[in-house]
Amino acid sequence: MAQQILISERMDLSRVPDTVEELIEQVKESCKVAGGIRLQYKDVDFGGTFVNLNSTSMIKDLTTIKVIPSATETLILEFVESDLDTSSISTHTDDTVILSSSSSEKLRTEPWPKEFNIPQFSFETEGQLEKGNAEYTKDQTRLTPTSKMLSNILERLAEKIFSYKAYPSDADLSDVAEGLTRKHPCLRQPDPFNESYGWKLRLKTKMSNYRTQLKSHGLASELLVNTLKSKSREDPVPKPAKNNKKARRGEANYYPQTSSENPESLELERISLLTELKKRNNEKTVREKMARTFEFRRKEVVDKKPDIKNLLERWPGLFQMEEFLRVTAVPLLTRFMAQLDKHSPQLLEIIRKKGGTTKAKTAIILEFLDQVGVGFVLE
């Protein structure tokens, strides 16, 4: 899947145009967008859903505008307040959710990939692999890596794996081993398990040693929480494996690094957050406070294991899309819309078979969809 490029530009408007057509022309000229585009705005009365923009009177301060060009790239326009009598517009891709950069730099931002991307090794190792791959293609000669080369390969793979998971499963390590032998066939080994089983065993041992190395330097709290020093002192015979705290499926930031702020100030921030959540059009402030208190909140969830009722009382902002992305690294809205596109033909068939009030309410919409096509509406 091609990676979308983040584009940011500034567009100064002396006034909001009277018609949508004028606004479209100004956006196309400023953002250098060719072809036809349409605009949508985030309607707070409908839970932040994007609705087609039919009148510029809907544009107010801090209104978010989505630009959908005919190309695959989608832009977001955010109208923000300015010291001048102009509206500032910034653009970014549709599937980008901006979290607080100060707090999210040390967090994992991507889930485990469907196909593991083998990282670049050292210059010397890459040269030997390139030569070995050429010989393997020629006469199926396997490469026997030196100790230095083997160490470099395992070290780089361990770093890459840790960027996704601290405790990868056997299936995850199998994916990495198979990806390695697929990219560098000269490293294949004569075993009945896809010729990569030996590399899986090496990676399993390396990840264990890599975690021990990080724990010895105190670099990862999600590893330190599983040391004997962090176990309950009430147990007469403490064991490292008992009550092992590690991420479950889909949890990308299970036990993040402790911040420099003290718990008292973060608790005051939590109380302030409860007030901010009651205000309308306050998503930016809520997002910043949720990012700032993430480590504090996450440790409370992991250590105290509160029930859902208690979580709703203390952290109502936890049940938001931005928080879902922070914990799972999955863009929920993008994933939902993609699945909706996939199943939209079947859903429309069900709606067409309905009668009575449902048929009367959807008749005009279905007629419009037949004229313009489903893909245009459900982008």
**Mean pLDDT, residues 186-209:** 90
Range 156-175 average pLDDT? 93
203 and 159 in one domain? yes
| Residue % of the chain over a pLDDT of 90 | 27
pTM passes above 0.75? no
User: What is the average pLDDT value for the chain, to the nearest integer?
Assistant: 79
Query: What pLDDT is stored for residue 234 in this prediction?
Result: 65
Phi, psi of 37 (to 5 degrees): -135, 165
Please state the domain count of the chain.
Answer: 4
Q: Is the pLDDT of residue 101 over 50?
A: no
Containing 37, the helix (H) or strand (E) segment is strand 37-43
DSSP assigned state of 75 = E
Strands 75-78 and 64-69: antiparallel
Last residue of one domain, picked from the residues 82, 115, 148: 82
Instruction: Report residue 285 as tokens.
Output: 């402030």
b/e code 78-115 from CB counts within 10 Å (16+ = b): bbeeeeeeebebbbbebeeeebbeebbeebbeeebeee
Q: Are 336 and 285 contained in the same domain?
A: no
Whether 83 shows a pLDDT value over 80: the answer reads no
Does 322 share its domain with 342?
no
pLDDT mean over 14-20: 75
pLDDT at 222 over 70: yes
As a whole number of angstroms, the distance between CA 218 and CA 223 comes to 9
pLDDT bucket at 208, cuts 50 / 70 / 90 = very high
DSSP annotation string for 133-160: HHHHHHH-PPP---HHHHHHHHHHHHHH
- Domain annotation covers residue 248: no
Same domain (yes/no): 6, 49: yes
134 within a domain of the structure (yes/no): yes
Read off the pLDDT band of 104 (50, 70, 90).
very low
Tokens read off for 36: 């036809």
Q: Are residues 314 and 345 in the same domain?
A: no
The answer to whether position 255 is within a domain reads no
Tell me the residue range of the domain where 314 lies. 263-328
Task: Check whether 156 has a pLDDT greater than 90.
Answer: yes
Please say whether the beta carbons of 75 and 66 come within 8 A.
yes
Give the separation between CA 104 and CA 294, rounded to whole angstroms. Answer: 9
Task: Using CA atoms of 143, 146, 150, 156 in order, give the dihedral in degrees to the nearest 10.
Answer: -100
Q: Are 19 and 66 part of one and the same domain?
A: yes
Would the CA dihedral through 327, 330, 336, 337 be positive or negative? positive
pLDDT the model gives residue 2:
41
- Rounded CA gap, 264 and 266, in Å? 5
Rounded distance, CA 148 to CA 154, Å? 10
- Return the pLDDT at 343: 87
* pLDDT, tens digit, 9 for 90 and up, residues 335-368: 888 888 888 888 888 888 888 888 888 888 888 8
Q: Could you tell me if 280 and 353 lie in one domain?
A: no
Q: Is the pLDDT of residue 199 over 80?
A: yes
Q: What is the pLDDT of residues 34-69, one digit of tens each?
A: 777 777 777 766 656 777 777 777 776 667 777 776
Q: Which residues contact 195 (CB under 8 A, 6 or more apart)?
A: 181, 188, 189
Is the domain of 129 the same as that of 215?
yes
For residue 246, pLDDT beyond 90: no
Q: CA neighbours within 13 Å on the CB side: how many for 230?
A: 16
Per-residue pLDDT band for 152 (boundaries 50, 70, 90) equals: very high
The average pLDDT across 129-140 equals 92
* pLDDT recorded at residue 160: 94
> Which residues are registered as beta bridge partners of 68?
38
Let me know if residue 117 belongs to a domain. Answer: no
Same domain, 140 and 152: yes
Task: Answer yes or no: is 188 within a domain.
Answer: yes
For range 108-133, the mean pLDDT: 91
Residue 289 lies in a domain: yes
pLDDT for 22: 80
Residue 104 lies in a domain: no
> Can you state the angle between helices 294-304 and 283-292, rounded to 10 degrees?
60
